Structure 1
Amino acid sequence: MSALAHELPRAAINARLVALISSAAVAFGVFLSGFVINEPAPYELYMVGLIAISALFGLRISRTLAPLVVLLVLFNIGGMISMSQMSDLMSTPLYLAVSLFLAFTAVFFAAITEMQPSLYPVIFRTYVAAAVATALLGILGYFHAVPGAEMFTKYDRAAGAFQDPNVFGPFLVLPGIYLLYRLLTGNLSKMPLYIVPLLVIVGGIFFSFSRGAWGLFGVSAILLTGTLFLQSASGSFRLRIAIMSIAAFLLLAIALLVALQIPTVAELFTVRAQLVQDYDGARLGRFARYSIGFLLAMESPLGIGPLVFGQIYGEDTHNIWLKALLDYGWLGFAAYFTLIVWTLAAGFRVLFRKRPWQPFTVCAYIVLVGHVALGSIIDTDHWRHFYMLLGLVWGGIALEARHIRWRARSCEGSAHQIGARRRALDSTK
């Protein structure tokens, strides 16, 4: 008995130690996702090792996650078939290897959050830290605040520790929405803890001058507010949401007006705020390439090969649906379309169910919806944070399925106990 008493605390300590190590390992990977200046980035190198080690030490893929795995694999098989249509492979094998790796990261984040739901707050807090760090770099670079800071800009726009402002801006949206969620629902005494990093992140989004990021953050903020209204039947809570939303809007509006007092900022903002740019409506601009690409895709069911469209027309498709058709063929498109529809439908089913992980899945789902819409005007197939979003949403879907199974077993057990008691009572009569 004494040996067992000594063994139990040791086992508990070991389990706690394993949980801390796994949390730290995942957190470090999430933090690295905010620094992708060169490829392969440290994020890729680290995550390859982390996924491999996790697989060796018991990372389990549940049956709920099977559709995610199958559809992502089919998507990449479509890319491999499409590659077979190329006469010169160039760097295509590496491109598809990155696609497959990113697919694995989505499965990893889904599986790890299903196994250990306590990782959700760890992931989100680390994501916020990474976003604040890279946003500060982008803002410092935009204003040339320190020597050498210009490396964190591109096309006179803030890019942070990213290669492209159009990826940098959307990367910041999830942590921004999460902080807004905490601002709207959290303790009033902790407001400064949310306001300061939120202003830094929104500043990074603004100075990226990415129209997609602006729209993504705005739409996500509206969807978040609407979701919170629908979730609660409390009049006082809804009133608080309304007041806090107005206050947040006024704060951001004041910050925008202050920023626009700087002539260079105002000039670039006026240019970027136009809905249609010259490269959109030109003879072979973005919109014209959509129709050209679609006709080409109808003639090429196996695809034309990854990145070939950009080599022919000088610019990539800038449309994830068209890119799926051309770079991954009809098989890849069907798999990607099915994956998105399945994710949005299954995610919506669990959106309003009160669970410990609900705040995180709500934020991830809302931002994922925005990314799906954004994919109509830009390629998102190699955005690292997009696959992280996908994994976080599927983690919530898998957790809900597990919760339902647990409740069903509990009800069956209770019914069995009641039946046994009745039979025991009947036997005594």
Structure 2
Amino acid sequence: MASACYFLFISNIPIKKRVITLLLCLIAGTFLLFYLGNTPLIANLLNERLGMQNYDTERFSTQKAAFEAGFSNLIGMGPGQSDENLEMSTHSLYARLFAENGLIGFLSFFVFFILSMLQALKRTLRSSYQVRGLYSIIFASLVGLIFNSLFIDTLHWRHFWLLLALAWCAEEEINEGMPEPIKIKGR
């Protein structure tokens, strides 16, 4: 998903060609997955890896308990308390935020995350050529993190917070660190 978002916003190639290429890659990837899924060795591996494990039932029950705790206490149980009060780690940023910060804290964080993504997207579409690629990387990374956070508690990932901050950096601040474009004689 993040790669597709990045590919859609690189500026060297016209949008029509990017969309067509992305659709062709999606179709080819679907056929490749279907073919590999019917290969006995790969099919066994996929069934083993994608099937429910014993650990998953405990993890999902902990996530359910985290959401129940968030609904029962609108201001949450406090930072870092989900690991203390629940049987195991929630393994989901959203379940952890909801349990520890309650509905208000969860909604505040989620709104900030969405606003940061929209800010990065806006800067991707409106920035100069020199920094457009950086903003598209920031946007694509945030898209990847929003999905990754469903399955992993990304709260303590340093790059998570760095990407959220970079989405709000002004183009002028980023341009200060960029080298001047190379000028070719006669152009």
1:277 is aligned with what amino acid?
Q
1:16-415 matches, within 5 Å, as 219-228=1-10, 232-233=13-14, 238=17, 242=21, 270=46, 273-274=49-50, 276-280=52-56, 282=57, 285-355=58-128, 356-395=130-169, 398-399=170-171
Question: Alpha-carbon deviation of 1:288?
Answer: 2.5
SS of the aligned residue for 2:91 comes to coil
RMSD between superposed Cα atoms in Å: 3.6
Distance 2:99 2:124 in 1: 33
Structure 1 residue 275 displacement after superposition: 5.4
What's the offset of the Cα at 1:272?
6.7
CA contact (8 A) 1:307 1:316 kept: no
CA-CA distance at 1:388 after TM superposition: 1.6
When Rg is computed on C-alpha atoms for both structures, the one with the higher figure is 1
| In 2, Cα distance between equivalents of 1:234 and 1:309 | 45
CA separation of 1:306/1:348 partners in 2, compared to 1, >3 Å: closer, same or farther? same
TM-score of the superposition, structure 1-length normalised? 0.32
TM-score (norm 2): 0.67
CA contact (8 A) 2:117 2:143 kept: yes
Taking the aligned partners of 2:85 and 2:112, their CA distance within structure 1 comes to: 29
Match of 1:29 in 2: none
CA contact (8 A) 2:142 2:163 kept: yes
Structure 2: state its 5+ residue gaps. 176-187
User: 8 Å contact 1:365–1:393 — kept in the other structure?
Assistant: yes
Task: Provide the identity percentage.
Answer: 22
Tell whether the 8 Å contact from 2:121 to 2:136 is kept in structure 1 after alignment: no
The superposition leaves residues 313-351 of structure 1 with CA deviations (integer Å, 9 ceiling, x where unpaired) of: 331122212211222334432321221121122222222
**Aligned residue pair count:** 160
Contact 2:8/2:15 (CA < 8 Å) preserved in 1?
Answer: no
- For residue 60 of structure 2, give the secondary structure of its aligned residue in structure 1: helix
In structure 1, list runs of 5 or more residues that go unmatched: 1-218, 258-262, 404-429
